[in-house]
Amino acid sequence: MRCIVFVITTLIVHLSEATTGGGKASKISLNDGNSIPALGLGTFLGFDEKGQKEVKPGDSEKPVKWALEAGYRLIDTAALYLNEDQIGAAVRASGIPREDIFIVTKLPMDNQRDVVKQLEKSLARLNMSYVDLYLIHNPVAFNPGFKGFDIVDYLDTWKGMEEAKNLGLAKSIGISNFNTTQIDRILENGQIKPSVLQVEVNLHLGQDKLIDYCKRNGIVVMAFSPFGPMFHDSLPSIRPDDPTLVAIAEKHGKSVTQIVLRYLIQKGVVPIPKSVKKNRIEENIDVFDFNLSSEDMNKIGTFNKEKRTVGMSFWQDHPYYPFEKSDQVHDNPFESAN
Check residue 290 for interaction with ligand NAG (CB under 6 A): yes
Stretch touching ligand NAG by CB under 6 A, among 49-57, 61-69, 178-186, 301-309: 178-186
Which three-class secondary structure string do you get for 78-145? CHHHCCHHHHHHHHHHHCCCHHHCEEEEEECCCCCCCHHHHHHHHHHHHCCCCEEEEEECCCCEECHH
Per annotation, catalytic residue among 81, 130, 154, 321: 81
* Closer to ligand NAG by Cβ: residue 101 or 230: 101
Active site (annotated) includes residue 81: yes
Q: Is 137 annotated as a binding residue?
A: yes
Stretch touching ligand NAG by CB under 6 A, among 22-30, 49-57, 180-188, 307-315: 180-188
* Closer to ligand NAG by Cβ: residue 93 or 247: 93
Residue 108, Cβ neighbours under 10 Å: how many? 19
Among 26, 31, 34, 180, binds ligand NAG (CB under 6 A): 180
Check residue 320 for interaction with ligand NAG (CB under 6 A): yes
Check residue 322 for interaction with ligand NAG (CB under 6 A): yes
User: How far apart are alpha carbons 202 and 230 in whole angstroms?
Assistant: 9
Beta-strand pair 102-107/131-136: parallel
Nearest to 244 by CA among 292, 306, 209, 208: 292
Check residue 321 for interaction with ligand NAG (CB under 6 A): yes
Contacts to ligand NAG from residues 120-159, by CB under 6 A = 127
Nearest to 172 by CA among 108, 218, 121, 224: 218
Stretch touching ligand NAG by CB under 6 A, among 108-116, 179-187, 193-201, 292-300: 179-187
Contacts to ligand NAG from residues 205-264, by CB under 6 A = none
Check residue 266 for interaction with ligand NAG (CB under 6 A): no
* Closer to ligand NAG by Cβ: residue 94 or 180: 180
Q: 3-state DSSP helix/strand/coil percent for the chain, to nearest 5? A: 40, 15, 45
- Residue 335: which residues within 8 A CB-CB, separation 6 or more? 51, 146
Query: 141-150 burial string, b = 16+ CB within 10 Å, else e?
Result: bbeeebeebb
- Positions annotated as catalytic residues are 81
Interaction site with ligand NAG (CB under 6 A): 92, 127, 179-182, 289-291, 320-322
Q: Which positions make up the binding site for substrate? A: 137
